[in-house]
Structure 1
Amino acid sequence: MYRRLGNDEGGEAANAASQDKKLLKAILQKNTLTGQNTIKRSTPHIMFCVAIIEDEKRYSDLLREYIDRYAGATGEQFETRVYFDPFTFLDNYKKTDIIFMDIMMPGMDGMETSKRLRKMDADVVLIFVTNMSKYAIKGYEVDAFDFVVKPVYYEDLKIRLDRAIAKLKNKPEQKLLVSTGSSTLVLRAEDVRYIEIFSHKLTYHTTGGDVTAYGSLKKLTAELPEGQFLKVNKSFIVNLKYVTRIEDFDIYLGKEAIPIAQKKKREIEAALAKFLAEGKI
Protein backbone atom coordinates (compact mmCIF):
# COMPACT_ATOMS: atom_id res chain seq x y z
CA MET A 1 0.00 0.00 0.00
CA TYR A 2 1.35 3.39 -0.97
CA ARG A 3 1.28 6.41 1.34
CA ARG A 4 0.51 9.72 -0.34
CA LEU A 5 1.74 12.91 1.32
CA GLY A 6 -0.25 16.12 1.46
CA ASN A 7 -1.49 17.37 -1.94
CA ASP A 8 -1.84 21.08 -2.39
CA GLU A 9 -0.95 21.55 -6.04
CA GLY A 10 -1.99 18.39 -7.94
CA GLY A 11 -3.55 18.49 -11.42
CA GLU A 12 -4.87 16.45 -14.32
CA ALA A 13 -2.64 14.11 -16.30
CA ALA A 14 -0.76 15.65 -19.21
CA ASN A 15 -2.28 15.18 -22.68
CA ALA A 16 0.98 14.46 -24.48
CA ALA A 17 4.30 13.12 -23.30
CA SER A 18 7.30 15.38 -23.74
CA GLN A 19 10.72 14.29 -24.97
CA ASP A 20 11.95 14.54 -21.42
CA LYS A 21 9.26 12.11 -20.30
CA LYS A 22 10.28 9.64 -23.01
CA LEU A 23 13.88 9.85 -21.86
CA LEU A 24 12.81 9.41 -18.27
CA LYS A 25 10.80 6.31 -19.08
CA ALA A 26 13.76 4.83 -20.90
CA ILE A 27 16.03 5.06 -17.85
CA LEU A 28 13.66 4.88 -14.87
CA GLN A 29 12.23 1.40 -14.22
CA LYS A 30 9.36 0.66 -11.81
CA ASN A 31 9.51 -2.17 -9.30
CA THR A 32 5.92 -2.55 -8.18
CA LEU A 33 6.68 -5.29 -5.67
CA THR A 34 9.34 -3.62 -3.54
CA GLY A 35 9.17 0.03 -4.53
CA GLN A 36 12.95 0.02 -4.89
CA ASN A 37 14.91 1.90 -7.51
CA THR A 38 15.63 -0.44 -10.44
CA ILE A 39 17.47 2.00 -12.69
CA LYS A 40 19.60 0.37 -15.36
CA ARG A 41 22.33 2.28 -17.11
CA SER A 42 25.89 2.01 -18.36
CA THR A 43 28.93 2.88 -16.25
CA PRO A 44 28.09 6.20 -14.54
CA HIS A 45 30.02 9.38 -15.26
CA ILE A 46 29.78 12.76 -13.64
CA MET A 47 29.10 15.69 -15.95
CA PHE A 48 31.74 18.33 -15.22
CA CYS A 49 30.91 21.94 -15.99
CA VAL A 50 33.91 23.82 -17.47
CA ALA A 51 34.22 27.53 -18.25
CA ILE A 52 36.89 29.08 -20.48
CA ILE A 53 37.49 32.81 -20.06
CA GLU A 54 39.72 33.86 -22.96
CA ASP A 55 39.52 36.97 -25.14
CA GLU A 56 41.34 35.39 -28.10
CA LYS A 57 39.19 32.95 -30.05
CA ARG A 58 42.11 30.91 -31.37
CA TYR A 59 43.10 30.03 -27.81
CA SER A 60 39.56 29.34 -26.59
CA ASP A 61 38.96 27.11 -29.62
CA LEU A 62 42.16 25.22 -28.90
CA LEU A 63 41.28 24.70 -25.24
CA ARG A 64 37.83 23.47 -26.20
CA GLU A 65 39.33 21.10 -28.78
CA TYR A 66 41.68 19.68 -26.13
CA ILE A 67 38.84 19.22 -23.63
CA ASP A 68 36.80 17.35 -26.26
CA ARG A 69 39.84 15.22 -27.08
CA TYR A 70 40.33 14.45 -23.38
CA ALA A 71 36.67 13.48 -23.06
CA GLY A 72 37.00 11.08 -25.99
CA ALA A 73 40.13 9.50 -24.53
CA THR A 74 38.91 9.13 -20.94
CA GLY A 75 35.13 8.82 -21.19
CA GLU A 76 34.66 11.81 -18.89
CA GLN A 77 31.78 14.13 -19.76
CA PHE A 78 32.00 17.92 -19.96
CA GLU A 79 29.67 20.84 -20.51
CA THR A 80 31.97 23.60 -21.78
CA ARG A 81 31.07 27.28 -21.86
CA VAL A 82 33.26 29.99 -23.43
CA TYR A 83 33.34 33.66 -22.43
CA PHE A 84 35.33 36.23 -24.41
CA ASP A 85 35.31 38.87 -21.69
CA PRO A 86 35.35 38.65 -17.87
CA PHE A 87 32.36 40.96 -17.38
CA THR A 88 29.99 38.65 -19.25
CA PHE A 89 31.39 35.71 -17.31
CA LEU A 90 30.87 37.32 -13.89
CA ASP A 91 27.45 38.75 -14.74
CA ASN A 92 26.20 35.35 -15.89
CA TYR A 93 28.07 33.13 -13.45
CA LYS A 94 26.50 29.84 -12.45
CA LYS A 95 27.96 26.92 -10.53
CA THR A 96 31.05 25.61 -12.33
CA ASP A 97 33.52 22.80 -11.59
CA ILE A 98 36.64 23.88 -13.51
CA ILE A 99 37.62 27.29 -14.88
CA PHE A 100 40.42 28.06 -17.34
CA MET A 101 41.17 31.74 -16.81
CA ASP A 102 43.31 33.84 -19.13
CA ILE A 103 45.46 36.34 -17.23
CA MET A 104 45.95 39.11 -19.78
CA MET A 105 42.56 40.45 -20.89
CA PRO A 106 41.42 43.98 -21.74
CA GLY A 107 39.14 45.79 -19.31
CA MET A 108 39.79 43.45 -16.37
CA ASP A 109 42.67 41.03 -16.01
CA GLY A 110 42.37 37.46 -14.85
CA MET A 111 43.59 38.19 -11.33
CA GLU A 112 40.95 40.81 -10.64
CA THR A 113 38.30 38.60 -12.26
CA SER A 114 39.36 35.74 -10.00
CA LYS A 115 39.17 37.90 -6.87
CA ARG A 116 35.57 38.77 -7.73
CA LEU A 117 34.85 35.15 -8.63
CA ARG A 118 36.03 33.94 -5.22
CA LYS A 119 33.39 36.11 -3.55
CA MET A 120 30.77 34.06 -5.40
CA ASP A 121 32.39 30.63 -5.43
CA ALA A 122 35.16 29.57 -3.06
CA ASP A 123 35.31 25.97 -4.27
CA VAL A 124 35.62 26.05 -8.07
CA VAL A 125 38.87 24.63 -9.47
CA LEU A 126 40.68 27.61 -10.99
CA ILE A 127 43.44 27.09 -13.56
CA PHE A 128 45.26 30.10 -15.00
CA VAL A 129 46.25 30.24 -18.66
CA THR A 130 49.09 32.68 -19.25
CA ASN A 131 52.05 33.41 -21.47
CA MET A 132 54.02 34.73 -18.51
CA SER A 133 54.83 32.15 -15.85
CA LYS A 134 55.64 34.86 -13.27
CA TYR A 135 51.89 35.40 -12.84
CA ALA A 136 51.52 31.85 -11.52
CA ILE A 137 52.94 32.94 -8.15
CA LYS A 138 50.14 35.47 -7.74
CA GLY A 139 47.66 32.65 -8.19
CA TYR A 140 48.01 31.80 -4.52
CA GLU A 141 46.20 35.04 -3.70
CA VAL A 142 43.01 33.62 -5.22
CA ASP A 143 43.58 29.95 -4.37
CA ALA A 144 44.38 28.97 -7.96
CA PHE A 145 44.66 25.21 -8.38
CA ASP A 146 47.27 25.28 -11.16
CA PHE A 147 48.43 27.17 -14.23
CA VAL A 148 49.35 26.33 -17.81
CA VAL A 149 51.66 28.41 -19.98
CA LYS A 150 50.84 29.45 -23.55
CA PRO A 151 51.21 28.04 -26.09
CA VAL A 152 49.14 25.28 -24.55
CA TYR A 153 49.85 21.69 -25.60
CA TYR A 154 47.45 18.82 -25.15
CA GLU A 155 49.68 16.87 -22.76
CA ASP A 156 49.99 19.91 -20.50
CA LEU A 157 46.22 20.32 -20.37
CA LYS A 158 45.70 16.59 -19.83
CA ILE A 159 47.88 16.65 -16.72
CA ARG A 160 45.86 19.56 -15.28
CA LEU A 161 42.54 17.92 -16.07
CA ASP A 162 43.66 14.63 -14.54
CA ARG A 163 44.52 16.41 -11.29
CA ALA A 164 41.43 18.63 -11.31
CA ILE A 165 39.05 15.71 -11.84
CA ALA A 166 40.77 13.65 -9.15
CA LYS A 167 40.26 16.56 -6.76
CA LEU A 168 36.59 16.94 -7.69
CA LYS A 169 35.85 13.23 -7.37
CA ASN A 170 37.46 13.16 -3.95
CA LYS A 171 35.57 16.15 -2.61
CA PRO A 172 34.34 15.57 0.96
CA GLU A 173 30.68 14.73 1.25
CA GLN A 174 28.36 17.68 1.69
CA LYS A 175 27.02 18.31 5.18
CA LEU A 176 24.03 20.35 6.35
CA LEU A 177 23.99 22.28 9.62
CA VAL A 178 20.50 22.00 11.04
CA SER A 179 19.33 24.11 13.99
CA THR A 180 16.60 22.47 16.09
CA GLY A 181 16.39 25.37 18.52
CA SER A 182 18.06 23.65 21.46
CA SER A 183 20.95 22.20 19.45
CA THR A 184 22.65 22.11 16.07
CA LEU A 185 22.88 18.83 14.17
CA VAL A 186 25.08 17.84 11.23
CA LEU A 187 23.26 15.84 8.55
CA ARG A 188 24.76 14.20 5.47
CA ALA A 189 22.97 15.64 2.45
CA GLU A 190 23.04 12.17 0.88
CA ASP A 191 20.93 10.81 3.77
CA VAL A 192 18.10 13.33 3.35
CA ARG A 193 15.25 11.75 1.35
CA TYR A 194 13.00 14.81 1.24
CA ILE A 195 12.30 17.99 3.16
CA GLU A 196 8.86 19.19 4.22
CA ILE A 197 8.38 22.93 4.53
CA PHE A 198 5.76 24.69 6.64
CA SER A 199 6.37 28.39 7.28
CA HIS A 200 9.80 28.47 8.98
CA LYS A 201 9.53 24.87 10.18
CA LEU A 202 11.59 22.39 8.18
CA THR A 203 11.23 18.64 8.61
CA TYR A 204 14.14 16.61 7.22
CA HIS A 205 12.99 13.09 6.39
CA THR A 206 16.25 11.13 6.47
CA THR A 207 17.20 7.48 6.13
CA GLY A 208 17.69 7.45 9.91
CA GLY A 209 14.47 9.21 10.91
CA ASP A 210 12.88 12.65 10.93
CA VAL A 211 14.52 15.85 12.19
CA THR A 212 12.52 19.02 12.75
CA ALA A 213 14.37 22.31 12.51
CA TYR A 214 13.84 25.98 11.82
CA GLY A 215 15.20 28.14 9.03
CA SER A 216 14.48 29.93 5.77
CA LEU A 217 13.73 28.28 2.45
CA LYS A 218 16.19 30.59 0.66
CA LYS A 219 19.07 29.62 2.94
CA LEU A 220 18.17 25.93 2.73
CA THR A 221 18.08 25.96 -1.08
CA ALA A 222 21.54 27.54 -1.23
CA GLU A 223 23.00 24.81 1.00
CA LEU A 224 21.61 21.79 -0.87
CA PRO A 225 23.70 20.06 -3.58
CA GLU A 226 22.83 21.62 -6.94
CA GLY A 227 21.02 19.33 -9.34
CA GLN A 228 20.24 16.70 -6.70
CA PHE A 229 17.46 18.35 -4.69
CA LEU A 230 14.36 19.73 -6.40
CA LYS A 231 11.35 21.62 -5.12
CA VAL A 232 8.34 19.72 -6.48
CA ASN A 233 5.64 21.89 -4.91
CA LYS A 234 5.49 24.71 -2.40
CA SER A 235 5.82 22.34 0.56
CA PHE A 236 8.30 19.66 -0.50
CA ILE A 237 11.91 19.42 -1.68
CA VAL A 238 12.91 15.96 -2.92
CA ASN A 239 16.30 14.26 -3.17
CA LEU A 240 16.27 12.85 -6.71
CA LYS A 241 18.55 10.03 -5.56
CA TYR A 242 15.58 8.35 -3.86
CA VAL A 243 12.95 8.78 -6.59
CA THR A 244 11.64 5.47 -7.90
CA ARG A 245 9.06 6.73 -10.39
CA ILE A 246 6.74 9.53 -11.50
CA GLU A 247 3.12 8.59 -12.07
CA ASP A 248 0.51 11.12 -13.17
CA PHE A 249 1.09 14.05 -10.78
CA ASP A 250 2.84 12.15 -8.02
CA ILE A 251 6.55 11.54 -7.49
CA TYR A 252 7.37 8.36 -5.58
CA LEU A 253 10.13 7.68 -3.09
CA GLY A 254 9.61 3.99 -2.54
CA LYS A 255 6.04 3.71 -1.22
CA GLU A 256 5.67 7.39 -0.36
CA ALA A 257 3.97 9.62 -2.93
CA ILE A 258 4.47 13.38 -3.02
CA PRO A 259 2.23 15.53 -5.23
CA ILE A 260 3.81 17.50 -8.05
CA ALA A 261 2.74 21.03 -8.89
CA GLN A 262 1.09 20.76 -12.30
CA LYS A 263 3.09 23.58 -13.85
CA LYS A 264 6.38 22.02 -12.68
CA LYS A 265 5.88 18.48 -14.01
CA ARG A 266 7.92 18.85 -17.22
CA GLU A 267 10.70 20.65 -15.33
CA ILE A 268 10.80 17.82 -12.76
CA GLU A 269 10.83 15.10 -15.42
CA ALA A 270 13.69 16.84 -17.23
CA ALA A 271 15.69 17.33 -14.03
CA LEU A 272 15.24 13.70 -13.02
CA ALA A 273 16.14 12.42 -16.47
CA LYS A 274 19.33 14.54 -16.47
CA PHE A 275 20.22 13.42 -12.95
CA LEU A 276 19.86 9.74 -13.84
CA ALA A 277 21.58 10.04 -17.21
CA GLU A 278 24.62 11.59 -15.52
CA GLY A 279 24.82 8.62 -13.17
CA LYS A 280 24.77 10.64 -9.96
CA ILE A 281 23.28 7.86 -7.85
Structure 2
Amino acid sequence: MINIAIVEDEEEYSNQIKKYLERYEKEHGEKFYVTVFQDGDEIAIGYSAKYHIILMDIHMQFMDGMKAAEQIREVDAEVIIIFITNMTQYAIRGYQVNAFDYVLKPIEYFPFSSSLERAIGRIKNRVQRYITIPIKGGTVKLDVSDIYYIESQRNKLVYFTKSGEYITTATLKDTEEKFNGLGFCRANKGCLVNLEHVDSIINGCACVQGNNIPLSRTRKNIFMEELTDFVGRD
Protein backbone atom coordinates (compact mmCIF):
# COMPACT_ATOMS: atom_id res chain seq x y z
CA MET A 1 0.00 0.00 0.00
CA ILE A 2 1.19 3.49 -0.88
CA ASN A 3 0.65 6.16 1.79
CA ILE A 4 -0.34 9.51 0.25
CA ALA A 5 -0.96 12.90 1.87
CA ILE A 6 -3.04 15.59 0.21
CA VAL A 7 -2.32 19.09 1.50
CA GLU A 8 -4.88 21.45 -0.02
CA ASP A 9 -6.97 24.22 1.52
CA GLU A 10 -9.56 24.33 -1.27
CA GLU A 11 -12.11 21.56 -0.84
CA GLU A 12 -12.92 21.53 -4.55
CA TYR A 13 -9.35 20.57 -5.48
CA SER A 14 -8.93 18.24 -2.52
CA ASN A 15 -12.02 16.27 -3.60
CA GLN A 16 -10.86 16.26 -7.22
CA ILE A 17 -7.46 14.83 -6.27
CA LYS A 18 -9.13 12.09 -4.19
CA LYS A 19 -11.33 11.15 -7.16
CA TYR A 20 -8.29 11.05 -9.45
CA LEU A 21 -6.49 8.79 -6.97
CA GLU A 22 -9.51 6.45 -6.84
CA ARG A 23 -9.59 6.33 -10.64
CA TYR A 24 -5.86 5.58 -10.77
CA GLU A 25 -6.30 2.74 -8.24
CA LYS A 26 -8.92 1.11 -10.46
CA GLU A 27 -6.98 1.58 -13.69
CA HIS A 28 -3.60 0.41 -12.38
CA GLY A 29 -4.47 -2.01 -9.60
CA GLU A 30 -2.74 0.08 -6.93
CA LYS A 31 -3.86 0.55 -3.34
CA PHE A 32 -3.60 3.96 -1.67
CA TYR A 33 -4.10 5.08 1.92
CA VAL A 34 -4.96 8.78 1.71
CA THR A 35 -4.77 11.42 4.45
CA VAL A 36 -6.03 14.95 3.84
CA PHE A 37 -4.62 18.12 5.44
CA GLN A 38 -6.15 21.56 4.97
CA ASP A 39 -3.00 23.62 5.47
CA GLY A 40 0.77 23.27 5.37
CA ASP A 41 1.15 23.66 9.13
CA GLU A 42 -1.09 20.64 9.76
CA ILE A 43 1.36 18.26 8.11
CA ALA A 44 4.65 20.06 8.80
CA ILE A 45 4.34 20.63 12.55
CA GLY A 46 5.22 17.39 14.28
CA TYR A 47 5.69 15.72 10.90
CA SER A 48 5.97 11.92 10.91
CA ALA A 49 7.95 10.37 8.06
CA LYS A 50 5.31 7.82 7.11
CA TYR A 51 4.21 9.09 3.70
CA HIS A 52 5.46 7.91 0.32
CA ILE A 53 3.97 10.82 -1.66
CA ILE A 54 2.80 14.30 -0.66
CA LEU A 55 0.52 16.16 -3.08
CA MET A 56 0.76 19.74 -1.86
CA ASP A 57 -0.77 23.05 -2.78
CA ILE A 58 1.61 26.03 -2.63
CA HIS A 59 -0.73 28.88 -1.68
CA MET A 60 -2.34 28.21 1.72
CA GLN A 61 -3.48 30.48 4.51
CA PHE A 62 -1.24 29.68 7.49
CA MET A 63 1.81 27.94 6.02
CA ASP A 64 2.45 27.81 2.30
CA GLY A 65 3.59 24.64 0.57
CA MET A 66 7.18 25.75 0.12
CA LYS A 67 7.64 26.49 3.82
CA ALA A 68 5.96 23.22 4.75
CA ALA A 69 8.22 21.32 2.32
CA GLU A 70 11.32 22.94 3.85
CA GLN A 71 10.31 21.73 7.31
CA ILE A 72 9.43 18.26 6.03
CA ARG A 73 12.79 17.92 4.29
CA GLU A 74 14.56 18.52 7.61
CA VAL A 75 13.31 15.14 8.81
CA ASP A 76 12.43 13.25 5.61
CA ALA A 77 14.72 13.29 2.59
CA GLU A 78 12.92 10.44 0.81
CA VAL A 79 9.25 11.42 0.58
CA ILE A 80 8.16 12.42 -2.94
CA ILE A 81 6.70 15.92 -3.03
CA ILE A 82 4.49 16.91 -5.95
CA PHE A 83 3.30 20.50 -5.89
CA ILE A 84 -0.21 21.39 -7.05
CA THR A 85 -0.18 25.00 -8.21
CA ASN A 86 -1.24 27.53 -10.80
CA MET A 87 2.06 29.41 -10.50
CA THR A 88 4.84 28.02 -12.71
CA GLN A 89 7.43 30.46 -11.34
CA TYR A 90 7.85 28.29 -8.24
CA ALA A 91 9.78 25.69 -10.22
CA ILE A 92 13.19 27.13 -9.30
CA ARG A 93 12.37 27.27 -5.59
CA GLY A 94 11.16 23.72 -5.84
CA TYR A 95 14.65 22.49 -6.54
CA GLN A 96 15.66 23.69 -3.07
CA VAL A 97 13.25 21.22 -1.47
CA ASN A 98 13.87 18.50 -4.06
CA ALA A 99 10.36 18.66 -5.49
CA PHE A 100 9.63 15.69 -7.74
CA ASP A 101 7.15 17.42 -10.05
CA TYR A 102 4.48 20.08 -10.50
CA VAL A 103 0.86 19.61 -11.53
CA LEU A 104 -0.81 22.77 -12.73
CA LYS A 105 -4.28 23.95 -11.81
CA PRO A 106 -6.88 23.47 -13.15
CA ILE A 107 -5.91 19.82 -12.64
CA GLU A 108 -6.39 17.47 -15.57
CA TYR A 109 -6.31 13.73 -15.11
CA PHE A 110 -3.71 12.83 -17.75
CA PRO A 111 -0.81 15.00 -16.47
CA PHE A 112 -1.78 14.14 -12.88
CA SER A 113 -1.77 10.38 -13.53
CA SER A 114 1.46 10.64 -15.54
CA SER A 115 3.23 12.37 -12.65
CA LEU A 116 1.79 9.87 -10.17
CA GLU A 117 2.92 6.92 -12.29
CA ARG A 118 6.51 8.19 -12.37
CA ALA A 119 6.44 8.78 -8.61
CA ILE A 120 5.19 5.25 -7.95
CA GLY A 121 7.89 3.90 -10.24
CA ARG A 122 10.53 5.63 -8.13
CA ILE A 123 9.02 4.24 -4.92
CA LYS A 124 9.08 0.69 -6.25
CA ASN A 125 12.73 1.09 -7.29
CA ARG A 126 13.54 1.93 -3.67
CA VAL A 127 12.54 -1.50 -2.38
CA GLN A 128 15.09 -2.46 0.23
CA ARG A 129 17.58 -5.13 -0.76
CA TYR A 130 19.50 -6.93 1.93
CA ILE A 131 22.67 -8.94 2.08
CA THR A 132 24.01 -10.96 4.99
CA ILE A 133 27.77 -11.13 5.54
CA PRO A 134 29.76 -13.18 8.06
CA ILE A 135 31.76 -11.19 10.60
CA LYS A 136 33.73 -12.14 13.69
CA GLY A 137 31.31 -13.56 16.22
CA GLY A 138 28.34 -13.93 13.90
CA THR A 139 26.66 -12.28 10.91
CA VAL A 140 25.27 -8.87 10.01
CA LYS A 141 22.36 -8.06 7.72
CA LEU A 142 22.90 -4.92 5.62
CA ASP A 143 20.56 -2.91 3.44
CA VAL A 144 22.44 -2.65 0.15
CA SER A 145 21.57 1.05 -0.07
CA ASP A 146 23.39 1.65 3.23
CA ILE A 147 26.70 0.32 1.88
CA TYR A 148 29.01 3.12 0.71
CA TYR A 149 31.89 1.05 -0.63
CA ILE A 150 33.78 -2.18 -0.05
CA GLU A 151 37.56 -2.20 0.20
CA SER A 152 40.01 -5.09 0.04
CA GLN A 153 42.58 -5.00 2.86
CA ARG A 154 45.07 -7.87 3.43
CA ASN A 155 42.84 -10.77 2.40
CA LYS A 156 39.88 -9.20 4.21
CA LEU A 157 37.03 -7.05 2.97
CA VAL A 158 35.95 -3.93 4.85
CA TYR A 159 32.37 -2.80 4.31
CA PHE A 160 32.03 0.95 4.87
CA THR A 161 28.37 1.54 5.66
CA LYS A 162 25.90 3.97 7.15
CA SER A 163 26.03 2.10 10.46
CA GLY A 164 29.80 1.65 10.61
CA GLU A 165 32.57 -0.60 9.31
CA TYR A 166 32.34 -4.39 9.06
CA ILE A 167 35.18 -6.78 8.32
CA THR A 168 34.59 -10.10 6.58
CA THR A 169 36.60 -12.79 4.81
CA ALA A 170 35.91 -12.93 1.07
CA THR A 171 37.43 -11.96 -2.26
CA LEU A 172 36.49 -8.74 -3.98
CA LYS A 173 35.98 -10.65 -7.23
CA ASP A 174 33.33 -12.92 -5.71
CA THR A 175 31.70 -9.97 -3.95
CA GLU A 176 31.59 -7.98 -7.19
CA GLU A 177 29.69 -10.85 -8.82
CA LYS A 178 27.28 -10.98 -5.87
CA PHE A 179 26.52 -7.26 -6.27
CA ASN A 180 26.09 -7.46 -10.04
CA GLY A 181 23.02 -5.46 -11.11
CA LEU A 182 22.71 -3.64 -7.77
CA GLY A 183 24.44 -0.41 -8.78
CA PHE A 184 28.00 -1.18 -7.69
CA CYS A 185 31.14 -0.65 -9.79
CA ARG A 186 34.82 -1.40 -9.31
CA ALA A 187 36.76 1.88 -8.95
CA ASN A 188 40.16 0.24 -8.84
CA LYS A 189 41.73 -3.13 -8.12
CA GLY A 190 40.82 -3.02 -4.45
CA CYS A 191 37.57 -1.07 -4.12
CA LEU A 192 33.92 -1.65 -5.08
CA VAL A 193 31.76 1.48 -4.93
CA ASN A 194 28.00 1.94 -4.51
CA LEU A 195 27.17 4.40 -7.31
CA GLU A 196 24.22 5.69 -5.29
CA HIS A 197 26.65 7.43 -2.93
CA VAL A 198 29.03 9.01 -5.45
CA ASP A 199 28.79 12.76 -4.82
CA SER A 200 31.29 13.89 -7.45
CA ILE A 201 34.29 12.96 -9.58
CA ILE A 202 37.26 15.26 -8.92
CA ASN A 203 40.89 14.89 -9.94
CA GLY A 204 40.47 11.27 -10.93
CA CYS A 205 38.76 10.30 -7.68
CA ALA A 206 35.19 9.36 -6.79
CA CYS A 207 34.03 11.32 -3.74
CA VAL A 208 31.94 8.99 -1.55
CA GLN A 209 30.72 10.27 1.82
CA GLY A 210 33.72 12.62 2.04
CA ASN A 211 36.28 9.96 1.05
CA ASN A 212 38.22 10.26 -2.20
CA ILE A 213 38.51 6.89 -3.91
CA PRO A 214 41.04 6.82 -6.78
CA LEU A 215 39.81 5.63 -10.16
CA SER A 216 42.43 3.45 -11.80
CA ARG A 217 43.45 4.22 -15.36
CA THR A 218 41.99 0.94 -16.61
CA ARG A 219 38.69 1.40 -14.75
CA LYS A 220 38.03 5.13 -15.10
CA ASN A 221 36.10 5.09 -18.40
CA ILE A 222 34.01 2.08 -17.38
CA PHE A 223 33.25 3.66 -14.01
CA MET A 224 32.16 6.94 -15.63
CA GLU A 225 29.93 5.13 -18.11
CA GLU A 226 28.25 3.08 -15.40
CA LEU A 227 27.81 6.15 -13.18
CA THR A 228 26.21 8.08 -16.05
CA ASP A 229 23.88 5.17 -16.79
CA PHE A 230 22.97 4.82 -13.09
CA VAL A 231 22.13 8.51 -12.68
CA GLY A 232 20.08 8.43 -15.87
CA ARG A 233 17.77 5.74 -14.48
CA ASP A 234 16.40 7.97 -11.72
- Tell me whether the two structures share a fold, i.e. TM-score over 0.5: yes
Aligned with residue 165 of structure 1, among 120, 137, 141: 120
* RCO higher in structure (CA 8 A, sep ≥6): 1
CA contact (8 A) 1:103 1:129 kept: yes
Q: Given the superposition, is the C-alpha separation of residues 71 and 172 from structure 1 closer, same or farther in structure 2, using an over 3 Å criterion? A: closer
Distance in 2 (alpha carbons) for counterparts of 1:60 and 1:174 = 35
1:22-74: per-residue Cα shift (whole Å, max 9, x none)? xxxxxxxxxxxxxxxxxxxxxxxxx0000010111111110011001100111
Aligned alpha-carbon RMSD (Å): 2.7
The residue aligned with 2:11 is 57
Aligned with residue 31 of structure 2, among 53, 64, 77: 77
Task: State the SS of the aligned residue for 2:62.
Answer: coil
Task: State the SS of the aligned residue for 2:74.
Answer: helix
TM-score for both structures, normalised by structure 1 = 0.46
The residue aligned with 1:29 is none
Matched, 1:141 2:96: yes
Q: Given the superposition, is the C-alpha separation of residues 106 and 175 from structure 1 closer, same or farther in structure 2, using an over 3 Å criterion? A: farther
What amino acid is aligned across from residue 62 of structure 1 in structure 2?
A: Q
Query: Which runs of structure 1 show a deviation greater than 4 angstroms over 4 or more consecutive aligned residues?
Result: none
Q: Given the superposition, is the C-alpha separation of residues 181 and 53 from structure 1 closer, same or farther in structure 2, using an over 3 Å criterion? A: farther
Any unmatched runs of 5+ in structure 1? 1-46, 190-210, 212-281
Task: State the SS of the aligned residue for 1:89.
Answer: helix
CA contact (8 A) 1:49 1:79 kept: yes
TM-score for both structures, normalised by structure 2 = 0.55
Matched, 1:152 2:135: no
Distance in 2 (alpha carbons) for counterparts of 1:150 and 1:181 = 58
What amino acid is aligned across from residue 55 of structure 1 in structure 2?
A: D
Aligned with residue 87 of structure 2, among 96, 110, 132: 132
| Residue identity (%) | 41
What amino acid is aligned across from residue 152 of structure 1 in structure 2?
A: I
1:167-209: per-residue Cα shift (whole Å, max 9, x none)? 0001152569x9x899xx66138xxxxxxxxxxxxxxxxxxxx
CA contact (8 A) 1:128 1:136 kept: no
Any unmatched runs of 5+ in structure 2? 145-165, 167-234
Alpha-carbon shift at residue 109 of structure 1 (Å): 1.1
